[in-house]
Structure 1
Amino acid sequence: MVVIARFSFPHEAQIAKASLDCAGIASYIADEHTVNTQWLYSNAMGGVRLMVAEDDAEEAIQILNSDFSQSVDHELVTESVKDVCPHCGSADLFAFTKGKRPAFLVFLLLGFPLFFYQHGYKCHRCGKFSQKL
């Protein structure tokens, strides 16, 4: 097995390992528990090492260096276009919490919270609140 990447923290190595697992490449994380126990030693030890078989090293490095952000951005854009205001049909919505200010005021006056607010969306065009889309 050869080291293809080094990470300062174990969770970063786990994310990279999950990417390789999805591609069908077997991998091993070395020194994960040592760094979890004594995280100050991480740099001195060379960090958490992600290892794969020599035959898979080139493909694994290529997968780890790939950028999939454009495909994620495209999915987010297509999902947000589906959300429209039920009152006017506008897609210009923003997250809004109805009743947040009165709940905060009650908390300041009484000293304990009364949770009577609602999470939802508000339309920029018509200004109406809706809980579900």
Structure 2
Amino acid sequence: MQNTFVTIAQFQYSSEAEIIKGRLEFDGIQVFLKDNITIDTDPLVSNAIGGIKLKVLAKDEDEAKAILKSIQQYSLDNDGHPITCPNCGNSHVELYSTINDLKSLVSFIVGFVTGTLPFSTRYQYKCEDCNTEFPVNNK
């Protein structure tokens, strides 16, 4: 069982997976990427097939997960300081886009139909600890 690969992370794009792969290989962990060539050929299928799977040997799973956790990057402000949640004060905050009004919904639909990027997107931060959503402050 120690010679089988287990999935420890999934990525939407191969560039993200390659960076993490390089970091793990630097630490002597054997890494295998699954579905990276398929997604490089057609990035639109990434969500349909579950993204690029980063796999390591079962015996290295705990060490690889510890390395991933140590390098996970959360949102930073313009000065490089972690953005903190106004509710709980933790810095496990990530940026995400949201569709919460008619303008952004219409923009999403037009972008989806025409194959272009949306021209009106709302961004917010979300705390992973307490699920508080708060707006992006453009200072």
With normalisation by structure 2, the TM-score equals: 0.48
Structure in which a larger fraction of residues adopt helix: 1
Structure whose alpha-carbon radius of gyration is higher: 1
